Structure 1
Amino acid sequence: MKIFLTAILLLCLPGLALLAQDRPISGVIVDSLTRAPLSGATVVLNPGSRTTFSGENGQFKFGKVNAAETAIIISAVGYEKKQILLHNTYPGEVIELAVHETQLSDVVVYANSGNPYKTISDADIKMRGVSNSQEVLRIVPGLFIGQHQGGGKAEQIFLRGFDADHGTDISLNVDGMPINMVSHAHGQGYADSHFIIPETIESTDYKKGSYDAEKGDLVTSGFVDFHTADAISGNLIRVEGGQFDTYRALAMVDLLGDRYKAKGQSWYVASEYRFSNSYFDNPQHFNRLNIFSKFSTRLSGNTRLLLSASVFHSSWFASGQIPDQAIDQGIVGFYGALDPNEGGVTSRNNINAQFITSFKNNGILKNQFYYSRYKFDLHTDFTFFLEDPVNGDEIRQKEKRNLYGYHGSYLYEHYLGNIKLTSKIGLDARLDVTDSSELSHTKNRYTLLNRIKLGNINELNTGAYVSETFQFNEKFSINAGLRFDEFAYHYQNLFAGDTTFNGTGKYRASNHSLSPKLNFYEQLSSKTELYLSLGKGFHSNDARVVVAEKGTGTLPSAYTGDFGVVYKPFDNLLFNASLWYIYLQKEFVYGGDGGTVDFSGRTRRVGADLSARYQPVKSILFDLDLNYAHGRAIDEPDGQNYIPLAPVLSSTAGITYSGKSGINASFRYRYLSKRPANEDYSLTAIGYFINDVVLNYTQRKYEIGLTINNIFNVKWKETQFDTVTRLKNEVTPVDGIAFTPGTKFAALAHISYFFR
């Protein structure tokens, strides 16, 4: 009898499997420890190569499968690969992936991911790690940063031949909320990311160029999106201490525990406090406090709520920028300060709510609402006694701001014959209400000498987009998108002495831009992806520029193109290389430091990027990024057409070791070549080559570590500017380089305790 029943069962199994294959295959992928959904996981039908990726709720879906396809293989960087037989699945099944040590072999080259940088970004943040808040930005290949107020101000950003100042030509976001501040008192797009606690970042997405329809303002050279963890697997307490009176304390605590995670709920809080006098001769007295909390839950079977809130406050003194002649004359040392009153205070409080709904047709509806309360008060002195030989040229930039925003999108996957269509539509709205944006001439920080600018700014940016991806087969797909942006600017001038405007009162202007996008992805083999991206974007400007020019020509077009390849010849070797082009129609730039409008004409930038990752054995990873850019002003004569401070040749590389004994370490370099400091290259911004080391000993319950920046104690200039200055005893102004020194040899030790 048993033999008979077994024979019947064996005969029926193929039919049962076939019946299972007559229905769509769907599921939800989650982390086995945190139970948080995993987006971007690769799901492959086997045998064959039909592939899809999990969405924001971790869901995936295939249409009707053929009889030959019997299993799905699920993989994600940092997780164990899993194979599931189709006859063992049911619709909407929750599939858990277990965390394991990240390997380069986990990275899948697949053209239809829609982002050629995904293969690099997936690996880097998990295999290289992030040791500090600056390293968060440096994870992007080719992106360089410079700090010229010791950690208080937003970093100066360089990418693809752009000196993007503090964020003018690059969009930075965290959990879908913008970091950049438009029409800022210090400059357009000012992006202070110091309110992000590095240990909360789970992943980073980035893309160079303006090729995504869902990205609008500030995406001239590219964008960077940070994603904080929806849940944490355990608790962490960390203390740090090092040279120059540098201290930091960090805590991350899971408030609900595993019992609630099993129900789809999580809530954790993270906080950090940092103090440092830094390496400058003038003690910085830098203080920073961050508190971040995130709650996630399922409101229904198919809707998730992600709710986060954060508090950030920072204050500091700064050494400021030092003219070369002050060093040459022995007035001040390389790490000295000419005006010890420079520095500032800033704060930002955020609330961010995301509602993500999955439908049975595999559609995803996302609604996001966010709010920020922001304050900024900065004192700087760039020219010293150039304008006022008696009191000096110290300035104060100050503002208070309410930022309101909404993102809404709907993504739907369907089929037209054998062509898979992924349709996405979206709406964006952002309103910045800035109170008393101020530029003043001051002395000793708080003595007001005279106003330069004072006013209230309202800026509304609304956008709508549509994006369609045509996946013709497993080898080739096309993405086409169209975006429309509308800007409305209101400026209330409160200072009658501002010569830019005809008296006090309200000034209004508006403009708009239509931006088409087109991307081609070709899978030549399982090892090689080719891509061609074309897109139109725009260069946005400060509201005070726009209303002064009555909107005319103040939203110039930017045209970008990329041709590249992702190549993985072996499981342990990965390349990403591209040739790129950026044409910018013209620029109006609001100079927040002087309250003036500077104009430059057309510019053209071309370049090449190369990234390589190599893991000869499981414990060792080599990484290399090499970037070249050639930029010129088109309408200026040869020799007068250099783009000031535009990076030319840059490179970063490192070796990371992760041993089974718990010892892990990295040795890295950063190289930035010399570059023109002004239009005729009569002044040079000197390049630098410095090295950093990280050494950790990690066990299940604790970690002990040491980070050393600039291990060879190189004397280098981190930021440099062509500045006309006059020192107190000088009769004639000097046009030369003013700089902020980079860090000396700086060692920082830490100890961490992990518990559940």
Structure 2
Amino acid sequence: MKHRHTAGRTRLRLNRWSWLLAALPFQAMGAETLGEVTVQASKQALVGIADTASEGSVSAEQLANRPLLRPAEVLEAVPGLIVTQHSGDGKANQYFLRGFNLDHGSDFATSVLGMPVNMVSHAHGQGYMDLNFLIPELVSGIQYRKGVYAVEDGDFSATGSARIDYQRALPSNFVELGAGQNGYRRALGAASMPLGGLTFLGAVEASSNNGPWEQPEHLGRTNAVLRLSSGTARDGYSISALAYEARWTATEHVPERAIASGEIGRYGALSPKDGGSTHRYSLSGEWAASGSQFGVDTATQASVYVIDYGLNLFSSPSGFINGPQGDQHEQADRRTVWGGQASRSWFLGPRLLDSELVLGGQLRRDEIGSVGLYDTVLRQRTDTVREDRIRQTATALYTALKTPWLPWLRSTLGLRHDQIRAEVTPLAGVFNMDNGGSATGRQTSPKLGVAFGPFSGTEYYANWGRGFHSNDARGATARVNPKDGTPVDAVPLMVRTQGSEIGVRTTLLPGWQSTLAVWRMDLDSELVFVGDEGVTEPRGASRRHGLEWSNSVALGRGFLLDADLALSQARFKTPVNGGDRVPNAIPRTASVALSYDQGGPWSGGLRLRYLGAYDLEETGQEKSSPFWMANLRLGYRFDRRVQLTLDVLNLFDRKANDIEYWGGACTRNELNAGACGGGTGIDGRLIHPLEPRTVRLGLRIGF
């Protein structure tokens, strides 16, 4: 089984944006800004509104008292979704949901300000979803769905989707300074103000961190947001410019036996100079308006975007199998992504049962100037395995009809048609020049949903739908293995998925809202492009099913309790490598979060998260170790402008592993002893430990 990784050295570079960080609060002083007031339903309070039992929303208030180790952990507010890391913190996180090891995002579609985050035909893996550019304090809300039941969701949405939006105006302008153990430093300045009938929002963030690793991480991140807006997200427009850069040195996952033997410490690394650098610059615009057409009310939405993205990622996932210089390689990606989407809803009135008709279209173009895999030693290229240029275009048309047939019965009927075209041009690589060409994939995906109720605050749902995920274009045009020239079979550009779900949403007691969903998902193939080797690895068709129970309880006096439980089973339909278990599919997760904020001096949040043992290989004989962990946040407001926060991450200092794999690797001592298995490595448990208990302080000063 193959795995993917990252790493790199970093210096914190403040000069480029430090002037703006310093200027933001002074620009805002004396300007009275009326913050936008947005009323959002909680993730369960959707009776009579939702189309499924497993959709919901998360508000900024729900995120405010949630302690975070990494920016992408805001997605853990989605019930059942787990965010981990197996390498440096400049690399995209590892995600798990509904019995899927989503790797770095392959089957969960995420957008920020209307822009897609998942990257197609990416150097490190299909669907690569790097959310490290998020600024959690700016998030106004997260709208999430699970399953393949919404016509608006296309590629990468087999398990679901999340739409993350930023605020248009801040309740108050502020500067926030943070410091903690292991060289953690963070500075954030954010301000909004009226500007010629519009609202301007600006934010600048700079942070650095070494982590607990024996090889310091030297993580340096710089981040900036500029936004002009008018009106609201439902009736108005916005223009947003984002800029993000990061550099880091990574400690990869390592063989557990290397720690047990004392060759390295628990937080030690096998290889120096793993890590990388990345950037993401974007410009986007969103517009929405209500009106009338043909005598009926309408709602129209449109958005456009352009993204400049780059990554250089240096990794040594197998250690020293190939010799004393190590197995480091570089994965490099340079691309421009542009596209947009538009939709219109017609509310047809009582003569047509108050139905809603939706029509929409989407376009995405990836201009990948260079995507490559290179052998390296200490970040210096020694050989080109493959380098390609890719042009990939995805288009979609969709429609949905939502009809309330009776006061207690409504339905949603949807149809979506997707087409993907890709052209791959080999640029370098001895054997890779025989690859390349064009590939096309098409699919029409029907969707059906029925809701019964509400009956005394309870509603029932049944949903079915088809969807897909795309494969890497290089796998769809492959003829030979780029490493050795052996023949390989090309794979389809699109792989069909099919899901079904039944569920209930109810108010058990006043203030206690609960949802229960039972689901099933079938995939025609588990094909994965393995960026470490430049090839597509077939893993067979699979079936998953499970149960999710999610609860939100308002306890009164500012206390809110969220409790979620997710159970799943993932199996190959035909045995693979002697078994039918899908590796790294987590069968049990649970979380309990208690928050308090009554608007007085004190606030806080405590979150406990459980990961059950999961199969590491197909026979199920090797399993990970289950564990609980807890994070704590305490806040104290000296007045309405000054607040101090204390985060204690991994509160009880659990000695567990963020991620575990099973695979071949070789340490330096094993290489010197001639015990590396004839070039294949030694199979065993590969781990990346949880970071130990970490304390961070934050001071926010409002203006």
Contact 1:487/1:511 (8 A) holds in 2: yes
Structure 1 position 601, deviation (Å): 1.6
Q: Greater shift after overlay, 369-378 or 354-363?
A: 354-363
Cα drift, residue 108 of structure 1: 4.2
1-structure distance, mates of 2:56, 2:394 = 32
Amino acid paired to 1:312: Y
Matched position secondary structure for 2:258 = helix
Question: Which residues in structure 2 correspond to 1:202-601 (within 5 Å)?
Answer: 202-256=140-194, 263=197, 265-297=198-230, 304-360=236-292, 361-386=296-321, 388-415=322-349, 417=351, 419-446=353-380, 448-498=381-431, 502=434, 506-548=436-478, 553-601=492-540
Q: CA RMSD in A?
A: 2.3
SS in 2 for 1:685: coil
Q: Deviations over 1:486-524 (max 9, x none)?
A: 01011111124135x626xx5111111111101111223
Question: 2: CA distance between counterparts of 1:520 and 1:539?
Answer: 25
Relative to 1, partners in 2 of residues 1:126 and 1:656: Cα closer, same or farther, differing over 3 Å? Answer: same
Residue 570 of structure 1: how far off its partner (Å): 2.6
Matches within 5 A, 1:582-621: 582-621=521-560
The 1:359–1:709 alpha-carbon spacing in structure 2 relative to 1, beyond 3 Å, is same
CA deviation vs aligned residue, 1:596-618 (integer Å, no higher than 9, x gap): 22102210101000111222223
Identity across matched positions, percent: 26
Alignment equivalent of 1:165, drawn from 103, 113, 120 = 103
- Cα distance, 1:639 vs structure 2: 6.6
Q: 1-side partners of 2:606 and 2:300: how far apart?
A: 44
1:625 aligns with 2:564: yes
Deviation at 1:712, TM superposition (A): 1.1
Distance 1:194 1:660, change over 3 A: closer
Cα shift at 1:548: 1.9
Counterpart residue type for residue 541 of structure 1: N
Amino acid paired to 2:521? I
Amino acid corresponding to residue 249 of structure 2 in structure 1:
F
8 A contact 1:317–1:342 mirrored in 2: yes
Query: In the alignment, which residue of structure 1 is the partner of 2:11?
Result: none
- Looking at structure 1, the residues matched to 587 and 216 of structure 2 have their Cα atoms a distance apart, in angstroms, of 34
1:249-282 deviations in whole A, cap 9, x for unaligned? 011111427xx6xx5x211101111101111111
Aligned-partner Cα distance in 2 for 1:389–1:289: 37
* 1:202-222 alpha-carbon deviations (Å, 9 max, x no partner): 011111101101111001111
Structure 1 contact 319–342 (Cα < 8 Å) conserved: yes
The residue type paired with residue 161 of structure 2 is F
3-state DSSP of counterpart to 1:231: coil
Residue 735 (str. 1) matches residue 667 (str. 2): no
Classify 1:691/1:129 alpha carbon distance in 2 versus 1 (closer, same or farther; 3 Å): closer
Structure 1 length-normalised TM: 0.82
- CA offset at residue 571 of structure 1? 2.7
| Cα 1:539/1:298, change in 2 over 3 Å | closer
Counterpart CA distance in 1 for 2:650 and 2:235 is: 48
Aligned with 2:142: secondary structure?
strand
* 1:703-742 matched pairs, under 5 angstroms: 703-730=643-670, 731-732=675-676, 733-742=681-690
- Whether the aligned pair in 2 keeps the contact of 1:320 and 1:380 (CA below 8 Å) is yes
Q: Deviations over 1:562-600 (max 9, x none)?
A: 111111133311111110000111132110011122102
Corresponding residue number in structure 1 for 2:5: none
Cα offsets for 1:659-684 (capped at 9, x unmatched)? 45320122211110111111112322
Distance across 1 between alignment mates of 2:59 and 2:209:
33
2-side partners of 1:240 and 1:653: how far apart? 26
Amino acid at match of 1:580: W
Task: Provide the rounded CA distance (Å) in 1 between the counterparts of 2:240 and 2:461.
Answer: 36
User: C-alpha separation between the residues in 1 aligned to 2:56 and 2:132?
Assistant: 27
Q: Give the unaligned 5+ runs of structure 1.
A: 1-31, 42-75, 78-103
Distance 1:340 1:390 in 2: 13
Stretch of structure 1 that moved more, 478-487 or 130-139: 130-139
C-alpha distance in 2, partners of 1:407/1:398? 29
Q: Is the 8 A contact 1:246 1:277 kept in 2?
A: yes
Amino acid at match of 1:450: D
Native 8 Å contact 2:603 2:635 kept in 1? yes
Answer with 603-612 or 542-551: which moved more.
542-551
Measure, in 2, the Cα distance between the counterparts of 1:610 and 1:158: 17
Q: Do residues 178 (structure 1) and 138 (structure 2) align?
A: no
The whole-number CA distance in structure 2 between the counterparts of 1:303 and 1:658 is 31
How far did residue 384 of structure 1 move?
Answer: 1.5
Q: Does the CA-based 8 Å contact 2:386-2:429 persist in structure 1? A: no
The residue number in structure 2 matching 1:65 is: none
Measured at CA, do residues 130 and 328 of structure 1 come closer, stay the same or move farther in structure 2, by a change above 3 Å?
Answer: closer
The one-letter amino acid paired with 2:298 is G
User: Does the 8 Å CA contact 2:337/2:366 hold for their aligned counterparts?
Assistant: yes
Q: Which amino acid aligns with 1:697?
A: Y
Distance of 1:618 and 1:472 partners within structure 2: 41
- The residue identity in structure 1 corresponding to 2:262 is G
Alignment-mate amino acid for residue 519 of structure 2 = W
Per-residue deviation, 1:118: 5.5
**Do 2:657 and 2:687's aligned partners in 1 also have CA atoms closer than 8 Å?**
yes
Structure 2 gaps, min length 5:
1-31, 480-488
Equivalent pair of 1:620/1:657 in contact (CA under 8 Å): yes
State the alpha-carbon separation in 2 of the partners of residues 170 and 335 from structure 1.
Answer: 30
1:617-661 per-position Cα deviation (integer Å, ceiling 9, x unaligned):
232222111000011101118971000000101111122122453
Contact 1:125–1:204, Cα closer than 8 Å, also in 2: no
Q: Is the 8 A contact 2:577 2:618 kept in 1?
A: no
Query: What secondary structure does 1:138 align onto?
Result: helix
Q: Is the 8 A contact 1:109 1:567 kept in 2?
A: no
Q: In structure 1, what is the Cα distance between the partners aligned to 2:478 and 2:326?
A: 29
Moved more, 580-589 or 158-167: 580-589
Task: Kindly provide the amino acid, as one letter, of the partner of residue 380 in structure 1.
Answer: S
| Pair 1:127–1:351, CA change in 2 (3 A) | closer
Q: Which amino acid aligns with 1:658?
A: D
Equivalent residue number for residue 111 of structure 1: 48
The verdict on how the C-alpha distance between 1:475 and 1:175 changes in structure 2, with shifts beyond 3 A counting, is farther
Q: Is the 8 A contact 2:576 2:618 kept in 1?
A: no
Deviates more, 1:459-468 or 1:683-692: 683-692
Structure 1: distance between partners of 2:107 and 2:417: 18
Distance of 1:283 and 1:123 partners within structure 2: 33
Say if 1:107 and 1:546 are closer, same or farther in 2 by CA, change over 3 A: closer
- Note the C-alpha offset of 1:298: 6.2
Secondary structure of the corresponding residue to residue 199 of structure 1: helix
Q: In the alignment, what sits opposite 2:28?
A: none
8 A Cα contact 1:285 1:317, kept in partner: yes
Report if the CA contact (8 A) 1:111-1:530 is conserved: no
Change (3 A) 1:320 1:574: same
Q: 1:452 to 1:119 in 2, by over 3 A?
A: closer
Match of 2:372, SS? Answer: strand
The offset of 1:121, in angstroms, is 3.2
- Give the aligned residue type for 1:735: D
